[in-house]
Amino acid sequence: MNDLSKDAVNRITVGEDAQGQRLDNYLVKILKGVPKSHIYRIVRSGEVRVNRQRAGPDARLTSGDELRIPPIRARQRLALALTVPGHAGARNIGVPPALFEDEALLIVDKPSGMAVHGGSGISHGVIERFRHARPDAKFLELVHRLDRDTSGVLLLAKKRAALTGLHAQLREGLVDKRYLVLVRGKWRDALRTVDLALESHSTSGEKRVRVTDGGRRAVTVFRRQRTWAAMDPPMALLEAELKTGRTHQIRVHLTHLGFPLAGDDKYGDFQWNRTLAKEGLKRMFLHARSMRFVHPMTGDKIMIDSALPADLKSYLERLDRLSSKADEVTP
């Protein structure tokens, strides 16, 4: 697959590892570096054929299918930019550090600011970086997603059986995913379960999520970790446990409750965010702290934790210092 021609039509036979995979996902995997927008264009225009027939991006592949793929000059140019030092467009394509890895799973500590996949002007995210770094990998897919600004535990599958097994656990609510968030406001409850349905909609071409009775059920359990009630404004550090995995679930639930997430540039308090940036918090305070699940191949219990990044830890230390000074001057 790494020997695709840049000048001629390519014909590829689908292997057993891609059995049941969507056409668009398969093309993203083998055309490393090609923007998704370009891949969808060549599929919809009919330049990509499956067994000499046009096929949609959601067509499911079968082992033995023959794919016709047009010349891939865009891929070769991007590959050159990624691998040749000094080439125009060259960039750092380092991969996040691994927290756990075996023959079926790869769990990484994703930094804030790195997308999990390419698209919307981003040529390569975590998955593209790993595929580029591991050209001999037969299978490598995201199990779930994190927002670009969210840091922490991210799970990838190295075998299709592991991917489908983990997706089943996610659907059945058997994966324990917990996050740390910093919010504004006086949070009083030690434990609070929020059960508010969410619905996605588009505003000026931008996808947003809102609380609505007609949406899909979304449940988040919040646990109070620490509070800075005497601060102006007061703040609280919470652990958020996802019982469902809706888009932007934690962020929208918190904003709806009146506790905006620090640094949230989509649903938060924009004026407060500007103040936070001046104080040193230049990103959203949302960190995927831990994940618990059953290994889909071995049956072992897997428990993965990610330490709070230095920038978030530093801001909490700043709050502690300011809070201590406030206590000293309080009569």
Instruction: Give the Cα separation of 47 and 100 in Å (integer).
Output: 40
CA distance readout (Å), 58 to 47, 75, 78, 157, 206: 15, 22, 25, 20, 23
- Residue 25: exposed, middle, or buried by beta-carbon count in 10 A (0-12, 13-18, 19+)? middle
Residue 235 near residue 156 (C-beta atoms within 8 A)? no
Instruction: Give the Cα separation of 218 and 195 in Å (integer).
Output: 6
Say whether pTM exceeds 0.85: no
Which CATH code of 3.30.450.20, 3.30.465.10, 3.40.190.10, 3.30.2350.10 fits the domain covering 98-329? 3.30.2350.10
Which of 24, 109, 147, 264 is catalytic? The answer is 147
For the question of residue 147 being annotated catalytic, the response is: yes
Per-residue pLDDT of the chain in tens (331 residues, 90 and over written 9): 445 555 567 888 887 778 888 998 888 888 876 778 788 888 888 889 999 889 998 899 988 888 888 876 544 434 433 333 333 333 445 789 999 999 999 999 999 999 998 765 566 789 988 988 888 888 999 999 999 999 999 999 999 999 999 999 999 999 999 999 999 999 999 999 999 999 988 776 678 899 999 899 999 999 999 999 988 899 999 999 999 989 999 999 999 999 999 999 999 999 999 999 999 999 999 999 999 999 999 999 999 999 999 999 999 999 999 887 655 444 4
DSSP designation for 126 = H
Q: Where are the domains of the chain?
A: 10-83, 98-329
Angle formed at CA 212 by CA 206 and CA 214, multiple of 5 degrees: 105
E-state strands within 212-300: 219-228, 235-242, 286-294
Rounded to 5 degrees, φ, ψ at 15 are: -90, 175
Residue 167: which of 191, 143, 132, 137 has the closest Cα? 143
The domain made up of 10-83 is a member of CATH 3.90.1150.10: no
